[in-house]
Amino acid sequence: MSATLQNRDRLTREQAQGLLDRHGIAPTEQRLEITRLLFARHQHLSAEQILAQLSMQASQVSKATVYNTLKLFAETGLVREVIIDSAKRFYDSNPNPHHHLFHTDSGRLEDVAPARVEITDLPGLSPAMEVVGVDVVIRVAPRKAQ
Ligand SMILES: [Zn+2]
Protein backbone atom coordinates (compact mmCIF):
# COMPACT_ATOMS: atom_id res chain seq x y z
CA MET A 1 0.00 0.00 0.00
CA SER A 2 1.39 3.41 -0.95
CA ALA A 3 1.94 6.16 1.60
CA THR A 4 -0.71 8.27 -0.13
CA LEU A 5 -3.30 5.55 0.21
CA GLN A 6 -2.47 5.08 3.88
CA ASN A 7 -2.89 8.79 4.51
CA ARG A 8 -6.30 8.80 2.88
CA ASP A 9 -7.17 5.93 5.22
CA ARG A 10 -6.74 8.09 8.28
CA LEU A 11 -8.56 10.99 9.90
CA THR A 12 -6.96 14.39 9.59
CA ARG A 13 -5.13 15.68 12.63
CA GLU A 14 -7.88 18.30 13.13
CA GLN A 15 -10.66 15.68 13.04
CA ALA A 16 -8.78 13.55 15.57
CA GLN A 17 -8.18 16.54 17.81
CA GLY A 18 -11.90 17.39 17.70
CA LEU A 19 -12.86 13.86 18.78
CA LEU A 20 -10.43 13.92 21.70
CA ASP A 21 -11.61 17.41 22.73
CA ARG A 22 -15.24 16.31 22.79
CA HIS A 23 -14.30 13.52 25.20
CA GLY A 24 -12.10 15.69 27.40
CA ILE A 25 -8.93 13.80 26.47
CA ALA A 26 -5.66 15.74 26.29
CA PRO A 27 -4.37 15.35 22.70
CA THR A 28 -0.85 13.91 22.99
CA GLU A 29 0.93 12.92 19.76
CA GLN A 30 0.40 9.21 20.47
CA ARG A 31 -3.31 9.62 21.23
CA LEU A 32 -3.78 11.62 18.02
CA GLU A 33 -2.00 8.92 16.02
CA ILE A 34 -4.14 6.12 17.45
CA THR A 35 -7.33 8.17 16.95
CA ARG A 36 -6.48 8.94 13.31
CA LEU A 37 -6.00 5.24 12.64
CA LEU A 38 -8.93 3.77 14.59
CA PHE A 39 -11.55 6.33 13.55
CA ALA A 40 -10.74 6.33 9.83
CA ARG A 41 -13.90 4.21 9.42
CA HIS A 42 -16.27 2.04 11.47
CA GLN A 43 -14.06 -0.90 12.39
CA HIS A 44 -13.07 -3.27 15.17
CA LEU A 45 -9.38 -3.47 15.94
CA SER A 46 -7.52 -5.29 18.69
CA ALA A 47 -4.65 -3.58 20.51
CA GLU A 48 -2.26 -5.91 18.62
CA GLN A 49 -3.72 -4.91 15.25
CA ILE A 50 -3.39 -1.21 16.11
CA LEU A 51 0.19 -1.76 17.24
CA ALA A 52 1.00 -3.65 14.02
CA GLN A 53 -0.48 -0.89 11.83
CA LEU A 54 1.38 1.80 13.76
CA SER A 55 4.70 0.01 13.39
CA MET A 56 4.06 -0.42 9.65
CA GLN A 57 3.92 3.38 9.54
CA ALA A 58 7.22 3.52 11.43
CA SER A 59 5.44 5.08 14.39
CA GLN A 60 7.20 5.39 17.73
CA VAL A 61 4.18 4.47 19.87
CA SER A 62 5.07 1.77 22.42
CA LYS A 63 2.95 -1.25 23.27
CA ALA A 64 2.27 0.07 26.80
CA THR A 65 1.11 3.41 25.37
CA VAL A 66 -1.27 1.68 22.95
CA TYR A 67 -2.81 -0.36 25.79
CA ASN A 68 -3.06 2.64 28.15
CA THR A 69 -4.54 4.86 25.44
CA LEU A 70 -7.19 2.30 24.48
CA LYS A 71 -8.09 1.86 28.16
CA LEU A 72 -8.51 5.64 28.50
CA PHE A 73 -10.55 5.83 25.28
CA ALA A 74 -12.87 3.09 26.58
CA GLU A 75 -13.23 4.72 30.02
CA THR A 76 -14.22 8.06 28.49
CA GLY A 77 -16.67 6.44 26.06
CA LEU A 78 -14.71 7.44 22.96
CA VAL A 79 -14.48 3.79 21.89
CA ARG A 80 -16.55 0.81 22.83
CA GLU A 81 -14.68 -2.21 24.13
CA VAL A 82 -16.07 -5.49 22.78
CA ILE A 83 -14.91 -8.40 24.90
CA ILE A 84 -15.10 -11.78 23.18
CA ASP A 85 -13.20 -13.68 25.86
CA SER A 86 -10.41 -13.03 28.34
CA ALA A 87 -7.79 -13.11 25.57
CA LYS A 88 -9.73 -11.33 22.82
CA ARG A 89 -11.00 -7.79 22.97
CA PHE A 90 -11.71 -5.32 20.20
CA TYR A 91 -12.00 -1.53 20.12
CA ASP A 92 -15.03 -0.40 18.16
CA SER A 93 -15.06 3.00 16.44
CA ASN A 94 -18.81 2.82 15.70
CA PRO A 95 -20.41 4.96 18.43
CA ASN A 96 -24.00 3.95 17.60
CA PRO A 97 -25.74 1.24 19.67
CA HIS A 98 -25.43 -2.14 17.94
CA HIS A 99 -24.79 -5.84 18.50
CA HIS A 100 -22.10 -8.08 17.04
CA LEU A 101 -21.66 -11.27 15.08
CA PHE A 102 -18.36 -12.99 15.86
CA HIS A 103 -16.99 -15.39 13.25
CA THR A 104 -15.12 -17.96 15.34
CA ASP A 105 -13.26 -19.37 12.30
CA SER A 106 -11.79 -16.08 11.06
CA GLY A 107 -11.92 -13.98 14.24
CA ARG A 108 -13.87 -11.31 12.34
CA LEU A 109 -16.38 -9.13 14.16
CA GLU A 110 -19.36 -7.75 12.25
CA ASP A 111 -21.94 -5.12 13.30
CA VAL A 112 -25.58 -6.15 13.70
CA ALA A 113 -28.28 -3.44 13.72
CA PRO A 114 -30.13 -3.33 17.08
CA ALA A 115 -33.48 -3.90 15.34
CA ARG A 116 -32.23 -7.33 14.10
CA VAL A 117 -32.00 -8.72 17.64
CA GLU A 118 -35.11 -8.92 19.75
CA ILE A 119 -34.81 -9.52 23.45
CA THR A 120 -38.19 -10.60 24.73
CA ASP A 121 -37.45 -11.20 28.39
CA LEU A 122 -34.89 -10.05 30.89
CA PRO A 123 -34.20 -11.53 34.31
CA GLY A 124 -36.10 -9.87 37.12
CA LEU A 125 -34.29 -6.79 38.32
CA SER A 126 -34.52 -5.14 41.69
CA PRO A 127 -36.79 -2.07 41.46
CA ALA A 128 -33.73 0.03 42.27
CA MET A 129 -32.08 -1.09 39.01
CA GLU A 130 -32.68 -0.19 35.38
CA VAL A 131 -31.23 -1.59 32.16
CA VAL A 132 -28.71 0.88 30.72
CA GLY A 133 -27.46 -1.26 27.84
CA VAL A 134 -27.64 -4.70 26.27
CA ASP A 135 -24.69 -5.92 24.20
CA VAL A 136 -25.17 -9.18 22.34
CA VAL A 137 -22.32 -11.14 20.74
CA ILE A 138 -23.60 -13.91 18.45
CA ARG A 139 -20.84 -16.47 17.86
CA VAL A 140 -21.02 -18.29 14.52
CA ALA A 141 -19.00 -21.01 12.78
CA PRO A 142 -19.30 -22.69 9.37
CA ARG A 143 -21.69 -25.66 9.47
CA LYS A 144 -19.92 -28.99 9.72
CA ALA A 145 -20.42 -31.32 6.74
CA GLN A 146 -22.99 -34.08 7.46
ZN1 LIG B 1 -19.23 -2.84 16.20
Mean pLDDT in each 10-residue stretch from start to end of the chain (146 residues)? 53 95 96 95 94 88 94 95 92 92 94 91 86 90 89
Instruction: Assess whether 29 and 87 both reside in one domain.
Output: yes
Instruction: Assess whether 43 and 74 both reside in one domain.
Output: yes
What's the pLDDT at 4?
Answer: 42
How many domains is the chain built from? 2
Q: How far is the CA of 67 from the centre of ligand 1 (A)?
A: 19
Q: Give the HSE-up count for residue 110: Cα atoms under 13 Å, Cβ half-sphere.
A: 10
Instruction: Assess whether 15 and 79 both reside in one domain.
Output: yes
Distance, CA of 42 to CA of 22 (rounded, Å): 18
Q: How far is the CA of 127 from the centre of ligand 1 (A)?
A: 31
Q: How far is the CA of 31 from the centre of ligand 1 (A)?
A: 21
Instruction: Assess whether 26 and 73 both reside in one domain.
Output: yes
Relative to beta strand 99-103, strand 137-140 is parallel
Distance, CA of 92 to CA of 98 (rounded, Å): 11
145 located within any domain? no
23 located within any domain? yes
Instruction: Assess whether 63 and 103 both reside in one domain.
Output: no
Instruction: Assess whether 136 and 88 both reside in one domain.
Output: no
Instruction: Assess whether 120 and 62 both reside in one domain.
Output: no
* DSSP assignment of 24-82: T----HHHHHHHHHHTTSS-EE-HHHHHHHHHHTT----HHHHHHHHHHHHHTTSSEEE
What's the pLDDT at 8?
Answer: 59
Q: How far is the CA of 110 from the centre of ligand 1 (A)?
A: 6
Q: How far is the CA of 86 from the centre of ligand 1 (A)?
A: 18
Instruction: Assess whether 71 and 13 both reside in one domain.
Output: yes
Instruction: Assess whether 39 and 79 both reside in one domain.
Output: yes
Q: How far is the CA of 145 from the centre of ligand 1 (A)?
A: 30
Q: What is the DSSP letter of 86?
A: T
Instruction: Assess whether 10 and 53 both reside in one domain.
Output: yes
Give me the domain span that covers residue 79: 3-92
Q: How far is the CA of 139 from the centre of ligand 1 (A)?
A: 14
CA 12 to chain centre: 19
Instruction: Assess whether 69 and 21 both reside in one domain.
Output: yes
Instruction: Assess whether 72 and 48 both reside in one domain.
Output: yes
Q: How far is the CA of 76 from the centre of ligand 1 (A)?
A: 17
**Collapsing DSSP states into helix, strand and coil, what is residue 139?**
strand
